[in-house]
């Protein structure tokens, strides 16, 4: 008896599962196609359809970027990104650095760090649950294993780890124009070479030497295209020489020790963050590890990268020539002003306001080539193959000494301009512990505002500040005199435009 035909609808349907390939396998496929191998053979070898292979080639750049940047585990099959992308990138960078330093990391540590990053990045609604942590570990292929006993005994050179493993992570993520380094340096702003020998071997805690000190914070980016405005930290919030002054060419702060504190650092970072937000930029700023440099919360455009405390200062770019160049230029200007007073038989006065103006002038003349070279000396990879020797900065020291001797001023024998500029390099510039109540000097006395007085208030600048501020008409007359002088010289268009800007600024002001 013949069997009844089976209806097609009753036959079992076998659905072939679509094969998923890892990123590593996709890289192999891309290489095979680019080597000239037939696509049909490649598709058969990996068990995929030709249209799937075409899709891989279409998304080749994304696959290569994911593989090369280490953002994804090579065994991972999908490239879906997380909602908190910035948090995950920060957490993964921290994890990689911990790996380089042989620091064992476990789930609770990772969860704690994730919540910490979320708070700093402003993700107040984020909470690192077990589920989120598991998905994060899966996305990046993280597996926590017990550290072998012998691994903990391996000696690691911090400098090698920093240069080979940590620094490249930041430089891969940021363009050189968005990589900054900042560094504090002390400055005895009225110190002349005629009394430097008395200061050799003495510290900031000795009498008048302490009163004449300020702290500078110097910062520039890696390609030399941008110098941050100088931050000057003095002792008095409202020195006499600032009377009537509404704006300065630098950012000015003050405390009784004239050094960097955690509060000043946080406020300054917030100001810089607002600036970079307005420019729609994301930057990284390398700073020393110090109690005066805390983690700053809710920065939107700045990532702070802290040098390990055990790292040598040779990795600090600003210390490799930028600060030296600024100080040499400043000392040169200071001596020229002193010599001008001697030659004109005038008493030499030099206030904190004079120092601020001189610092701003000198900072504007530090060249991009000096900055680039400093970053190279610090181990930061330069984007230029070589610097133009024609743009190298010239040492003005010899001319300065000759000029001083010609004016009858004795320049100490054996003291070079470099040594003179570096005499205050070892001044303390940062608070060791927040809210430190230590005194700077026994001779210094706090004034009624709570800030320590300085020499420029006592005997150096008070005479000048008693003079009345010039009127609008006097300013316009002075500008007219300046125009006549400059127009007798070979001026460029930039100077003509600057003069016009000055006049346009003064004209609308009310007469005084």
The verdict on 112 and 45 lying in the same domain is no
> In the structure, how many helices (H) and strands (E) does the chain have?
21, 6
**415 and 333 part of one domain:** yes
Q: Where are the alpha helices (DSSP H) in 285-321?
A: none
Contact between 94 and 120 under an 8 Å Cβ cutoff? The reply is no
Q: Tell me, yes or no, whether 283 and 356 share the same domain.
A: yes
> Do 491 and 483 contact (CB within 8 A), yes or no?
no
Q: Quick one: average pLDDT of 349-372?
A: 93
- CATH number of residue 97's parent domain: 1.10.10.60
Asked if the structure places residue 314 within a domain, the reply is: yes
Greatest CA separation for the chain: 135
> What are the backbone dihedrals phi and psi of residue 218, each rounded to the nearest 5 degrees, phi first?
-110, 135
Say yes or no: 285 and 413 in one domain.
yes
SS3 label, residue 338: helix
Tens digit of each residue's pLDDT (9 = 90 or more) over 215-237? 999 999 999 999 999 999 999 99
Residue 472 lies in a domain: no
C-alpha to C-alpha distance for 429 and 228, rounded to whole angstroms:
18
pLDDT of residue 211: 66
Classified as helix, coil or strand, 295 is: coil
Same domain, 27 and 138: no
For residue 193, give the DSSP letter. Answer: G
Count of other CB atoms within 10 angstroms of residue 378 = 22
> In this model, does residue 152 exceed pLDDT 50?
no
Tell me, yes or no, whether 122 lies in a domain: yes
Same domain, 38 and 122: no
Residues 6+ apart with CB under 8 A from 325: 366, 367, 370, 393
Residues 129 and 62 in one domain: no
- Spell out the alpha helix ranges (H) of 365-455: 368-377, 397-406, 417-422, 455
350: in domain:
yes
Model confidence pLDDT, tens digit, residues 272-327? 999 999 999 999 999 998 889 988 888 889 988 888 877 778 889 999 999 999 99
The answer, yes or no, to whether residue 75 has pLDDT greater than 60, is no
The predicted pLDDT at position 260 comes to 95
155 in a domain, yes or no? no
Q: Does 109 or 464 have the greater pLDDT score?
A: 109
What CA–CA distance (Å, rounded) separates 50 from 68? 26
Final residue before a domain boundary, out of 390, 423, 456? 423
Range of the domain at 110: 85-143
Other C-beta atoms lying within 10 Å of the C-beta of residue 353: 19
Nearest Cα residue to 66 out of 104, 93, 26, 98: 26
In the chain, the number of structural domains is: 3
Same structural domain for residues 187 and 265? yes
Q: Does residue 504 form part of some domain?
A: no
Indicate the length of the chain as a whole number: 512
The pLDDT of residue 454? 42
In a domain, 40, yes or no: yes
Contact 365, 222 (CB under 8 A): no
Q: At what angle do helices 23-34 and 50-58 cross, to 10 degrees?
A: 90
Q: What's the rounded mean pLDDT across residues 163-192?
A: 88
User: Does 476 map to a domain?
Assistant: no
Say whether 142 sits in a helix, a strand or coil.
coil
In sequence order, what are the residues at sequence separation of 6 or more whose Cβ sits closer than 8 angstroms to the Cβ of residue 336? 400, 403
pLDDT for the residue numbered 436: 45
Residues 6+ apart with CB under 8 A from 25: 46
Same domain, 40 and 181: no
Do 62 and 184 fall into the same domain?
no
| Residue 250 confidence (pLDDT) | 94
Alpha-carbon distance of 269 to 285, in angstroms, equals 10
pLDDT tens column, 21-41: 777 788 888 888 888 888 888
Backbone angles phi, psi at 187, to 5 degrees: -145, 125
Exposed e or buried b for every residue in 275-285, given b needs 16+ CB within 10 A?
A: ebeeeeebbbb
pTM above 0.75, yes or no: no
Domain CATH number, residue 278: 3.30.420
**Side-chain-side CA neighbours of residue 444 (13 Å):** 27
Confidence of residue 162 (pLDDT cuts 50, 70, 90): confident
* pLDDT higher than 50, residue 444: no
Cα within 13 Å of Cα(331), Cβ side: 30
Q: Are 342 and 407 in contact (CB under 8 A)?
A: yes
**What is the pLDDT, as a whole number, of residue 405?**
62
Q: What's the average model confidence in pLDDT over 327-353?
A: 87
On whether both 134 and 36 belong to a single domain, the answer is no
Taking residues 73-93, what's their average pLDDT?
66
Most confident residue range from 20-34, 213-227, 432-446, 474-488: 213-227
409 shares its domain with 278: yes
């Amino acid at each position: 008896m013949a069997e009844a035909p089976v209806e097609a609808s009753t036959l079992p349907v076998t659905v072939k599962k679509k094969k998923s390939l890892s990123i590593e396998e996709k890289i192999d496929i891309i290489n095979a196609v680019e080597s000239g191998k037939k696509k049909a053979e490649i598709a058969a070898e990996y068990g995929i359809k030709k249209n799937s292979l075409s899709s891989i080639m279409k998304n080749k750049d994304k696959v290569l970027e994911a593989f090369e940047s280490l953002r994804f585990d090579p065994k991972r099959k999908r490239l879906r990104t997380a909602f908190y992308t910035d948090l995950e990138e920060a957490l993964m960078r921290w994890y990689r650095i911990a790996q380089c330093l042989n620091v064992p990391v476990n789930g609770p540590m990772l969860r704690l760090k994730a919540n910490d990053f979320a708070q700093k990045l402003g993700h107040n609604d984020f909470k690192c649950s077990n589920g989120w942590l598991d998905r994060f570990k899966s996305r990046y292929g993280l597996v926590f294993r017990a550290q072998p006993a012998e691994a903990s005994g391996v000696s690691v050179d911090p400098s090698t780890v920093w240069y080979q493993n940590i620094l490249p992570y930041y430089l891969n993520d940021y363009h050189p124009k968005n990589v900054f380094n900042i560094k504090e340096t002390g400055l005895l702003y009225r110190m002349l070479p005629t009394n430097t020998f008395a200061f050799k071997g003495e510290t900031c805690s000795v009498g008048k030497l302490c009163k004449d000190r300020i702290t500078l914070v110097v910062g520039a980016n890696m390609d030399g295209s941008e110098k941050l405005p100088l931050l000057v930290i003095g002792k008095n919030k409202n020195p006499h020489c600032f009377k009537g002054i509404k704006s300065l060419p630098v950012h000015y702060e003050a405390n009784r020790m004239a050094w960097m504190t955690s509060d000043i650092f946080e406020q300054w970072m917030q100001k810089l963050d607002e600036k970079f937000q307005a420019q729609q930029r994301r930057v990284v700023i390398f700073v020393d590890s110090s109690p005066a440099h805390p983690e700053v919360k809710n920065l939107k455009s700045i990532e702070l990268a802290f040098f390990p405390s055990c790292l040598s200062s040779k990795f600090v770019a600003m210390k490799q020539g930028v600060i030296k160049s600024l100080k040499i230029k400043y000392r040169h200007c200071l001596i020229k002003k002193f010599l001008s007073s001697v030659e004109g038989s005038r008493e030499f006065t030099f206030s904190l306001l004079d120092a601020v103006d001189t610092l701003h002038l000198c900072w504007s003349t530090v060249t991009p080539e000096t900055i680039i070279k400093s970053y190279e000396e610090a181990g930061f990879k330069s984007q230029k193959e070589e610097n133009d020797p024609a743009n190298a900065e010239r040492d003005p020291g010899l001319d300065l000494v000759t000029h001083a001797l010609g004016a009858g001023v004795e320049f100490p024998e054996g003291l070079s301009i470099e040594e003179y500029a570096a005499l205050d390099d070892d001044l303390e510039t940062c608070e060791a512990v927040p809210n430190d109540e230590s005194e700077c000097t026994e001779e210094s006395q706090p004034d009624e505002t709570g800030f320590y007085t300085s020499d420029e208030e006592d005997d150096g600048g008070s005479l000048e500040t008693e003079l009345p501020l010039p009127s609008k008409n006097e300013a316009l007359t002075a500008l007219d005199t300046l125009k006549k002088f400059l127009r007798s010289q070979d001026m460029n268009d930039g100077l003509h435009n600057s003069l016009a800007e000055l006049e346009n600024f003064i004209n609308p002001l009310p007469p005084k």
